[in-house]
Amino acid sequence: MSKGLIFDIKRYSIHDGPGIQTTVFLKGCPLSCWWCHNPESQSAAREMLYRADRCIGCGACTQACPEGAIAHTPDGFIADPDRCTLHGECVLVCPADAREIVGHEISVDGLLKEIEKDALFFDESGGGVTFSGGEPLSQPQFLTEALRACREMDIHTTVDTCGYAPRKVFEAIAPLTRLFLFDLKIMDPELHRKYTGVSNELVLSNIEWLSTQEAEMIIRIPIIPEINDTPENIEATGRFLAGLPKKLEVNLLPYHAAAHQKYRRFGAPYRLPHLSAPPAVRLEELTGRLSQFGLSVFTGG
Amino acid sequence: MNERIERLRKESFETPVTLNCERAEIITDFYRENLGKYSIPMTRALAFKVLCTKKSIYIGKDELIVGERGPFPKSVSTYPELNCHSLDDLEVLDTRGKNPYRVPEKCREVYRDKVIPYWRGRTMRDRIFAEIGEEWKETYTAGYFTEFMEQRAPGHTTLDGKFYSKGMEDFKQEIAASLDSLDFKNDPDATQKREQLKAMSIACDAVVLFAERHGELASKMAEAESDPVRKEELERIAANCMHVPRHAPRDFWEALQMYWFMHLGTITELNGWDAMNPGHLDRYFYPFYSRELEVGAITRQRAKELLSAFWIKFNNHPAPPKVGVTAAESGTYNDFTNINLGGLLPDGTDGVNEISYMMLEVLDEIHLLQPQANIQLSRKTPDRFLKAAARIIRKGYGYPSIFNADTVIEQMIRAGKRVEDAREGGTSGCVETGAFGKEAYILTGYLNTPKILELTLGNGVDPVSGKKIGIESGDPATFKTFDELYAAFEKQLHHIVEIKIKGNQFIERMYAEHAPAVFLSVLIDDCIKNGKDYNDGGPRYNTNYIQCVGIGTITDSLSVLKKHVFEEKTFRMGEVLKAMEGNFEGREAMRLTLANKTPRWGNDDEYADGLMSRVFNSLFKEIDGRPNTKGGYYHIDMLPTTCHIYFGSVMGASPDGRFAHAPLSEGISPVQGADRNGPTAVIKSCGKMDHIRTGGTLLNMKFMPKVLEGENGIDKISKLVRTYFRYDGHHVQFNVVDSKTLRDAQVHPENFRDLIVRVAGYSDYFCDIGKDLQEEIISRTTQEEV
């Protein structure tokens, strides 16, 4: 049985799939969107996270580290990434929970045990499990096995994807997935490459293929001011979606500035520090324009 | 809310709370002249009648439902025969910063010259404290338990629907029949029963007299009234008061007035706990409403106006003020009247009706401190009703609270009640289960369970007072296993519960013999049939509850000791105890290790949840089924009201990393900040408690308004509640927190680690997100509040 690398499991997740959901966040993503609010989700490797605001300065971590990788700096107790082997001794001894290794391996059985904890909530609310990330399809074998196990347990399955995965992965998981939350970011391939790191051809063709399948699908568009809320992009998006064999529901997810702090905590640069969330009137306007293509459009989700 | 209701609401909200000595003076005069002339029940009945004859009558401008306990709204009576305020007490009440009771000069004089000189040494409280014994007093003073009846009479009761089809004349006939059937030849108690029944009959007359005095005043006011509309209203009020409570009510308006006189009668007679609870008002009022609506005699609008006017009356009656040291504490004006909505009818069908919805509307619009209301949610209750309640909860008042009607019924059936009585029952006060109109279910006091563990760790010595309160259960440093420690805890628990119950039994007899509630006894089955008082086993069911506090704190403390001392040996017992003794001074790393590296209650974690069950079972085994003096039994409740603050204040630091004197965990909620896996995990942990074997549990959950936003938020929270109730959860209420709380959370994140906020596309723990985003959410919240 294969193992997956996840970085979080969130219970009582109420804004993803239907009902009350348990969301499993798989680590690693082929995209690197400028606005990504989960920087810890991008790398497919485990990473050390340090929360200076929790640290009480006891120094237990420096003592415990078998590699002697942790140094006391003006910014706190920082592990040298070249020497840190992610052994985790420092996490165990830190009394204040200031250290954390983001990403841990879990077996399908272990994951199912966590998911099943909220089975009664799923039953009562028509909920289930959402696989999110990162990009869940980047761990195809683990995802397929987990989805199959959920289906055997009669648990509703949702997959939240950026769509950048080989067709054969979609072919494997589509029959096991009840609902896809499919991100559609930018229609222009070059702009897509600029802001996400990859071209969108694969994404678009996967949407086209999936819209011929039985699984439900909702298109989710993150609204990033000045980047993808341009008239050209909205027009192109509307035209593309209107041309699909199936009428899909569209959800607009307004950009939010939540990620700044996370990037700082993660020691990574944030490339959109000047952006702020789109105002409600702007979202109404976009909803109106997309609706003209005969699509049902909602904000949020 | 129309203009009249707005005016009445404003008046009730703005009138300052005053203390009034009219009742004290009338009672003192009566006792001075009459004590010794009659049997005790007759003395109580005649005193009640004199009160009803002499007390001032008030009918306010605009009022539609009439009657006050004091001479005017928010003017609070005192009960010197039970506990007599000293002049110092009156000064404290008058001047304390929070929730003061203004004391007029005349009142001080009357107390100084008349009330205090007569009652000193004669009050129930004085007599109880004189006789109860040193062991009880020491344990009580050290804060191992509280005693409800040292300040107020046993109350905690709820009325049913019987007096909507019966008037006082009918009750008097039943009393006469019971008198006729007394068997003086064979029943040694027959004479005593005769005195009780005669007294109950007089109490019926007294309440009728009280009502008719309102009728006379209303007639007079009508004659003098120039506004024809108000004149007609006053005439109608007069007619109402001449008809009820002598006879059963004939229409909706009279039904409201009928209840109100029953309420006033019971809270004037004695100062019983939780004022009086009206029970399932929606089902009692609905037949009147629907009948009149059908023939066009009432409109929905008019019914709602009457109901609103009725609702406001409750808020005019703040809780009677305490005496002694508790007078210095801020206390609350809330007297815990709690109205039940929905639930199941005695035949097992859904009890929700149009009045249930109307009452939710009134609760929302009036939103005063009192009365509280709750919904009783059964499997058969439609989601529409739950969602209507959730939309009010979302506004952040903290009410209505939500109860599991199916669990409440099952609890009563387990305790030996008939199924139809159980369905007619519900919850009152905070969360207490009882059979309405048929049961005396008495809260006897809170039990400080974490302090009993503290006593165990002190080998019987209370570390705060230094006194030897417990027994010698062994030096904890010599314990080889966790089971040895646990066995010692059970011994101390047994010791403390014995002291508590011995005290209760004595106090119970004092009330049975010296302070019968003769009017309340008329209204509770089967006091008339049995010829016995409410306080003396007259009711069909007689329950005593001990409310266990701090299940979260004790569970986490045991989890720490089990894991770190006995299993992993991270620290030695002596080390932990020494750090606790020093309030973890200089041992922050150890404190955080104990707090953070231990499985804790509220995370759906078997290790901690198993310890919770173990403690719960010990409490149950120790308390449940012990007989009281009235033919009934003790059961456990798991609720703290605000006692977790007091109980924390009398304790040193605890093994779970809690600092000395800090609050204990509240209700059955996890320790503040200890739950980190979200609301479903809290519900799973709480669902492992056997709610059916209690008489009530209290779960508080905190949410940001965003989590309940939109119909999606209402849907999801409704499903969360439904799932908790599938686990037999007894009760849940939601604090939908505001920006003030969030500010507090920024300063003291350790207390708010369980606070969930909706961030954008997902929800997260407020304390886990960055300062700037916190600020952003606070500004959002503030906007929502405007």
Task: Read off the pLDDT of residues A3-12 as tens digits, 9 standing for 90 and up.
Answer: 999 999 999 9
Is B763 in contact with A10 (Cβ distance < 8 A)?
yes
Chain B contact set for A96 (CB, 8 A): 592, 596
Sheet containing A3-13: give its strands across.
Answer: A104-107, A3-13, A21-26, A128-133, A156-161, A179-183, A216-223, A249-254, A296-299
- Please say whether the structural domain A47-102 has been given the CATH code 3.40.50.10140: no
Beta bridge partners of A140: none
Is A96 in contact with B759 (Cβ distance < 8 A)?
no
Say which range, A38-47, B29-38, B528-537, has the weakest mean pLDDT.
A38-47
**How far is the alpha carbon of A125 from chain B, nearest alpha carbon, in Å?**
5
Residue B754 touches chain A, beta carbons under 8 Å: no
Name the closest residue on chain B to residue A59, using Cα atoms: B589
Supply the pLDDT for residue B779. Answer: 59
- Sequence-separated (6 or more) residues with CB below 8 Å from residue B474: B459, B484, B488
Q: Of B590, B722, B759, which is closest to A124 when you measure between CB atoms? A: B722
Residue B332 touches chain A, beta carbons under 8 Å: no
Task: Read off the pLDDT of residues A154-188 as tens digits, 9 standing for 90 and up.
Answer: 999 999 999 999 999 999 999 999 999 999 999 99
**How far is the alpha carbon of B720 from chain A, nearest alpha carbon, in Å?**
7
Peptide bond into B245 cis (omega under 30): yes
Q: How many interface pairs between A and B have CB atoms less than 8 angstroms apart?
A: 106
Report the CATH fold assignment for B3-79+85-119+152-437.
Anaerobic Ribonucleotide-triphosphate Reductase Large Chain (3.20.70)
Residue B529 pLDDT more than 60?
yes
Is B592 in contact with A254 (Cβ distance < 8 A)?
no
- Sequence-separated (6 or more) residues with CB below 8 Å from residue B229: none
Task: Read off the pLDDT of residues B729-758 as tens digits, 9 standing for 90 and up.
Answer: 999 988 787 778 888 888 888 777 667 665
How does residue B782 score in pLDDT terms, banded at 50, 70 and 90? very low
Q: For testing the chain B interface, which of A113, A120, A218 should be mutated: the one with the most B CBs within 10 Å?
A: A120
Supply the pLDDT for residue B775. Answer: 76
**How far is the alpha carbon of A39 from chain B, nearest alpha carbon, in Å?**
14
Q: Tell me the HSE value of B483 on the side-chain side, using a 13 A CA sphere.
A: 0
Whether B539 and B526 have beta carbons less than 8 Å apart is answered as yes
Is B719 in contact with A12 (Cβ distance < 8 A)?
no
Residue B779 touches chain A, beta carbons under 8 Å: no
Closest by alpha carbon to B210, among B263, B265, B276, B248? B265
A257-277: buried (b, 16+ CB within 10 Å) or exposed (e) per residue? Answer: bbbbbbbebbeeebebeebeb
How does residue B761 score in pLDDT terms, banded at 50, 70 and 90? very low
Q: How far is Cα B259 from Cα B98, in angstroms, rounded to an integer? A: 32
**How far is the alpha carbon of B762 from chain A, nearest alpha carbon, in Å?**
6
Chain A contact set for B732 (CB, 8 A): none
How does residue B760 score in pLDDT terms, banded at 50, 70 and 90? very low
> Tell me, what amino acid is at B207?
V
Name the closest residue on chain B to residue A22, using Cα atoms: B680
- Sequence-separated (6 or more) residues with CB below 8 Å from residue B633: B415, B543, B544, B624, B625, B626, B627
Whether B727 and A120 have beta carbons less than 8 Å apart is answered as yes
How does residue B368 score in pLDDT terms, banded at 50, 70 and 90? confident
Q: Of B597, B684, B719, which is closest to A19 when you measure between CB atoms? A: B719
Residue A224 pLDDT more than 70?
yes
* Separation in Å, CA A183 to CA A64, A233, A255, B421, B481: 43, 14, 13, 57, 56
Looking up tokens 């007390």, which residue turns up? Answer: B55
Whether B452 and B132 have beta carbons less than 8 Å apart is answered as no
Is B762 in contact with A262 (Cβ distance < 8 A)?
no
Is B722 in contact with A301 (Cβ distance < 8 A)?
no
Secondary-structure percent of chain B, ordered helix, strand, coil, rounded to 5: 55, 10, 35
Beta bridge partners of B734: B701
Supply the pLDDT for residue B51. Answer: 98
Residue B750 touches chain A, beta carbons under 8 Å: no
Closest by alpha carbon to B751, among B699, B678, B674, B681? B674
Tell me how many degrees the CA angle B752-B758-B760 measures, rounded to the nearest 5: 140
Is B726 in contact with A262 (Cβ distance < 8 A)?
no
Q: Of B589, B679, B712, which is closest to A12 when you measure between CB atoms? A: B679
**ipTM score for this prediction:** 0.93
Q: How far is Cα B579 from Cα B48, in angstroms, rounded to an integer? A: 57
Supply the pLDDT for residue A266. Answer: 67
How does residue B396 score in pLDDT terms, banded at 50, 70 and 90? confident
Percent of chain B with pLDDT over 70: 96
Q: Of B596, B604, B681, which is closest to A97 when you measure between CB atoms? A: B596
Domain range summary for chain A, segments of one domain joined by +: 3-44+104-299, 47-102
Whether B59 and B113 have beta carbons less than 8 Å apart is answered as no
Chain A contact set for B727 (CB, 8 A): 120
Q: Tell me the HSE value of A227 on the side-chain side, using a 13 A CA sphere.
A: 25
Name the closest residue on chain B to residue A265, using Cα atoms: B770
Residue B645 pLDDT more than 50?
yes
**Mapped to the 3 state alphabet, what secondary structure does B698-746 carry?**
CCEEEECHHHHCHHHHHHHHHHHHHHHHHCCCCEEEEEECCHHHHHHHH
Q: How far is Cα B35 from Cα B119, in angstroms, rounded to an integer? A: 12
Contacts for B187-193: CB closer than 8 Å, 24+ residues apart: B189/B531, B190/B531, B192/B39, B192/B531, B193/B530, B193/B531, B193/B532
**How far is the alpha carbon of A279 from chain B, nearest alpha carbon, in Å?**
13
Is A117 in contact with B604 (Cβ distance < 8 A)?
yes
Is A257 in contact with B776 (Cβ distance < 8 A)?
yes
Q: How far is Cα B423 from Cα B344, in angstroms, rounded to an integer? A: 6
- Neighbour tally for A154: CB within 10 Å: 10
Q: Of A10, A125, A260, which is closest to B716 when you measure between CB atoms? A: A125
Beta strands at B338-342 and B372-377: parallel, antiparallel or unpaired: parallel
Mapped onto helix, strand or coil, the DSSP state of residue B74 is: coil
Whether B395 and B381 have beta carbons less than 8 Å apart is answered as no
Q: How far is Cα A271 from Cα A273, in angstroms, rounded to an integer? A: 6
Residue B759 pLDDT more than 80?
no
* Separation in Å, CA B719 to CA B79, B679, B724: 46, 12, 9
Q: Of B707, B726, B762, which is closest to A120 when you measure between CB atoms? A: B726
Chain A contact set for B763 (CB, 8 A): 10, 12-15
Is B771 in contact with A58 (Cβ distance < 8 A)?
no
Supply the pLDDT for residue B785. Answer: 36
Whether B418 and B540 have beta carbons less than 8 Å apart is answered as no
Q: How far is Cα B717 from Cα A239, in angstroms, rounded to an integer? A: 38
**How far is the alpha carbon of B482 from chain A, nearest alpha carbon, in Å?**
23
**How far is the alpha carbon of A249 from chain B, nearest alpha carbon, in Å?**
17
Closest by alpha carbon to A259, among B769, B781, B749? B769
Task: Read off the pLDDT of residues B626-641 as tens digits, 9 standing for 90 and up.
Answer: 999 999 999 999 998 7
**How far is the alpha carbon of B771 from chain A, nearest alpha carbon, in Å?**
8
Whether B435 and B408 have beta carbons less than 8 Å apart is answered as no
Which residues of chain A are at the B interface, by a Cβ-Cβ cutoff of 8 Å? 10-16, 19-20, 23, 37, 56, 58, 60, 95-97, 117-118, 120-121, 124-125, 127, 253-254, 256-258, 260-262, 264-265, 300-301
Is B678 in contact with A11 (Cβ distance < 8 A)?
yes
Chain B contact set for A97 (CB, 8 A): 592, 596
Name the closest residue on chain B to residue A252, using Cα atoms: B761
Q: Of B597, B723, B761, which is closest to A15 when you measure between CB atoms? A: B761
Task: Read off the pLDDT of residues B165-191 as tens digits, 9 standing for 90 and up.
Answer: 999 999 999 999 999 999 999 999 999
Q: How far is Cα B411 from Cα B431, in angstroms, rounded to an integer? A: 13
- Sequence-separated (6 or more) residues with CB below 8 Å from residue A268: A39
Closest by alpha carbon to B58, among B74, B80, B43? B74
Beta strands at B541-549 and B18-19: parallel, antiparallel or unpaired: unpaired
Name the closest residue on chain B to residue A257, using Cα atoms: B773
Residue B90 pLDDT more than 90?
yes
Burial (0-12, 13-18, 19+ Cβ within 10 Å), B371: buried
Tell me how many degrees the CA angle B287-B292-B296 measures, rounded to the nearest 5: 150
Please provide the average confidence, as pLDDT, over all residues in chain A.
93
Contacts for B713-717: CB closer than 8 Å, 24+ residues apart: B713/A14, B713/B394, B714/B387, B714/B390, B714/B391, B714/B394, B715/A125, B715/B387, B716/A12, B716/A14, B716/A19, B716/A20, B716/A125, B717/B390, B717/B393
Closest by alpha carbon to A55, among B778, B562, B589? B589
E strand spans, chain A? 3-13, 21-26, 47-50, 70-73, 76-79, 99-102, 104-107, 128-133, 156-161, 179-183, 216-223, 249-254, 296-299
Looking up tokens 């009045």, which residue turns up? Answer: B355
Contacts for B174-179: CB closer than 8 Å, 24+ residues apart: B174/B528, B175/B200, B175/B201, B175/B204, B175/B522, B175/B528, B176/B201, B178/B528, B178/B529, B178/B531, B179/B531
**How far is the alpha carbon of A214 from chain B, nearest alpha carbon, in Å?**
26
In this structure, what are the phi and psi dihedrals at residue B741, rounded to the nearest 5 degrees? -60, -40
Average pLDDT over residues A248-271: 79
Average pLDDT over residues B306-312: 98
Is A258 in contact with B769 (Cβ distance < 8 A)?
yes
Q: How far is Cα B192 from Cα B208, in angstroms, rounded to an integer? A: 25
Mapped onto helix, strand or coil, the DSSP state of residue B540 is: coil
Q: How far is Cα B223 from Cα B346, in angstroms, rounded to an integer? A: 45
Tell me how many degrees the CA angle B689-B273-B496 measures, rounded to the nearest 5: 50
Average pLDDT over residues B694-702: 91
Residue B480 pLDDT more than 80?
yes
Query: What predicted TM-score, i.e. pTM, was given to this entire model?
Result: 0.93
Average pLDDT over residues B645-664: 94
Q: Which of residues 674-713 of B touch A (CB under 8 A)?
A: 677-681, 684, 707, 710, 712-713
Average pLDDT over residues B703-716: 88
- Sequence-separated (6 or more) residues with CB below 8 Å from residue B52: B206, B207, B209, B210, B213, B265, B268
Closest by alpha carbon to B274, among B153, B360, B358, B168? B153
Looking up tokens 């996370």, which residue turns up? Answer: A262
Name the closest residue on chain B to residue A126, using Cα atoms: B719
Catalytic residue positions of B, numbered: 430, 432
Residue B367 is encoded by which pair of tokens? 């939103």
Residue B760 touches chain A, beta carbons under 8 Å: yes
Whether A67 and A83 have beta carbons less than 8 Å apart is answered as yes
Q: How far is Cα B494 from Cα B492, in angstroms, rounded to an integer? A: 5
Supply the pLDDT for residue B331. Answer: 65
Is A14 in contact with B759 (Cβ distance < 8 A)?
no
Is A14 in contact with B763 (Cβ distance < 8 A)?
yes
Q: How far is Cα B476 from Cα B557, in angstroms, rounded to an integer? A: 14
Q: Which CATH class is domain A3-44+104-299?
A: alpha beta
All CATH 3.20.70.20 domain ranges in chain B, comma separated: 3-79+85-119+152-437
